Every structure is written in structure tokens, then in C-alpha cells.
Amino acid sequence: MIRYNITLPVGNNYTLSGTVTTDIALLHDQVLVMLPGPTVNADWFSCTTDTNYDAPTLLTQTDGITVVTLNPLGVGNSSHPTDGSITNTDFQLPYITRALKIIRVILRAKSLGVYGEGGLGGELAIKLAAGNDVDWVACSAMLWKNPTDFTRANAMSPYAQGGLDYLAANNNGYLPTQPTDYDGFLANAPANQAMIDFTHQSQPGLYGTGPLRSLAFADLPTHPLYDPSLAKVDGLIIWGTSDIVAQPGDVEAMALAYGSSGGGHSEYHAVSGGHLMRVGTNAAGPNSEFWTIFRNFLSNHR
């Protein structure tokens, strides 16, 4: 197995950074691009303190898939626009699309799909499903139009809106995160100590606040965050039954609406675990429900 870093030019002097995990024996027939959530970078998919949570290694060695973990703009080593408050998914979409076109060519992918999480990677996956540059998508940690009281009180409150306006005026629209900022979601996952330690070590940084602003100022449920009905390709949608972000039924309703006008078909699963159930643990170790479903979906879309 080999792992190497890539930098992709995507226009307007922007570049996207990522990492390719593959094996020299692979023909890159199936390529998976993984996109992170709003306040984590793409390294979060590749836990170094517990290799059971190193998703690219697992998928490459066990399933024979080439995996690209990719940082959107305003994240990690990708370009940071001057104004971080503009980095919502509508802004990101054309640049991610250009990156996918490059990845398909340089890796000679016969089947290329995207897995995304939350209000950045997950929303991008749904929006990419409405285009012609992916063959399938998968997502988790989603919210469509019915947030929980927790989400309204913490991410959509006047306090949250004021904080984001402050960052736009005084910190170029970027949010500096600290290790303890991740603890609530890690506990909800629930993550083991190795994953907690890795998150504390690798994830604090500066993040564009565009995705956070999209949620903070959203008029929900009147105006949903995105339109899943436009999807043209198959989509896997996974929800954690202990999710603290989306109300029960919200993500399932999104899955039912998925592809209703675009022709795409959805596969919906509710699994044990919280909002970020991918990094959750159970008696068998990493969330076995999530990984069994996810890997079966990939196997059916080669």
C-alpha cells in the first residue's frame, strides 16, 4: 500500500490538497473521494492512533478501493479564500467538481464516487449527485430541514449568528478551533480514547465559516438546506439513532425525497451511534453497522 499527497489546481489560483491511498497492484477501477464536515480536515479520515479508524487503509487493503481524502477550500492545506465566510457548499461546488474531473483522469477511474459528512462534505455529496461527475454518492451526519432543539440553541441561535458575524468582521471569516471544541460530538459518536486523542492532535485549526453560516441563518424548515430531489445517481444515506443534530425522521424524509425528480435511487439506513457514527465504537470495535452497510454499498457500485 502507498499513500501520497496531491495538490490540484481548480481555478482562480485556488488549489485543493488531498491524500491518495492505494496499492500498486490496483488498477484504480473504483475510486472513492472522501470529503470532511465543516470543522474537520481530511486527515480525520485517517486516524493514526488507532488503525481500526484509518478508513483509507481499511478500504484499500480489504476492499481494493483507491481512496482520495480531499480538503475543500478554507480547510487544511487547501487554498483559503480571503473571506472565509463565503465558503459554503454553493461556493465550493464548482471547485470540487473540477477536482473530481482531474482525479478521474489521473487515476483512470472507471467508477468514481464521493462520501461526505455533515454540512460541508455531506451537502456537497448530495449536490454532486445532481451533476454528471460522480457515479454514486454516500453521506452521513446529515441535516435537511428539521433540526433538534440542541441544534437551534447552539448552531442557529442569535448568539451563534453574532459570533459568526464577529468572525466575518474581525477574523476574515475564519473560525479557530481548540481541542475541546470537538468533545461534545465525540462523546455523542461515541468515540474511543484513541479517536479522541487523534482529533485533539490533528483537527484544531482555522476553518472557513461558510457552512456554519448557511445553517446559522437558515430558515428551517421553510427553506431546506439543499434539494435532494435533483439527484441523478445512487446514494447511500446513513443516520445515527442517537443523533443530536437532526430530528428523528428528518434524514429518512430526505432519503425518500432523494432523486424524485432527477431519477437517482437512495438507500437509507438508521444505525446505532450519534451524529458522527463513523468514528463511534461498540463492543466489536469501530461501528460495525456503519462499516458493513458502507462497504456493501461500495461493493455493489464497482
3 state DSSP class of 277: helix
pLDDT for position 8: 98
The total number of structural domains in the chain stands at 1
The Cα–Cα gap between 53 and 176 comes to: 25
Q: Provide the CATH number for the domain around residue 59.
A: 3.40.50.1820
Q: 110 is in which domain, residue-wise?
A: 2-299
Cell digits for 1? 500500500
Among 172, 170, 169, 197, which Cα is nearest to 183's? 197
Say if residues 212 and 119 touch (Cβ distance below 8 Å): yes
Q: Is the pLDDT of residue 233 over 70?
A: yes
Say if residues 39 and 71 touch (Cβ distance below 8 Å): no
Q: Is the pLDDT of residue 36 over 80?
A: yes
pLDDT for position 285: 66
Using CA atoms, how far residue 40 sits from 87, 164, 200, in Å, is 14, 17, 11
Instruction: State pLDDT tens for residues 105-117.
Output: 999 999 999 999 9
Using CA atoms, how far residue 223 sits from 56, 214, 215, 220, in Å, is 35, 11, 11, 5
Q: Please tell me what DSSP assigns to residue 143.
A: -
Q: How far is CA 57 from the centre of its chain?
A: 18
Question: Confidence class of residue 262 from pLDDT cuts 50, 70 and 90?
Answer: very high
pLDDT for position 29: 87
Instruction: State pLDDT tens for residues 141-192.
Output: 999 999 999 999 999 999 999 999 999 999 999 999 999 999 999 999 999 9
* Average pLDDT of the chain to the nearest whole number: 95
Q: Please tell me what DSSP assigns to residue 204.
A: -
What residue spans of the chain are helical by DSSP H?
Answer: 55-63, 89-106, 123-128, 149-154, 158-170, 183-188, 193-202, 210-216, 250-257, 288-299
Say if residues 193 and 47 touch (Cβ distance below 8 Å): no
Instruction: State pLDDT tens for residues 74-101.
Output: 999 999 999 999 999 999 999 999 999 9
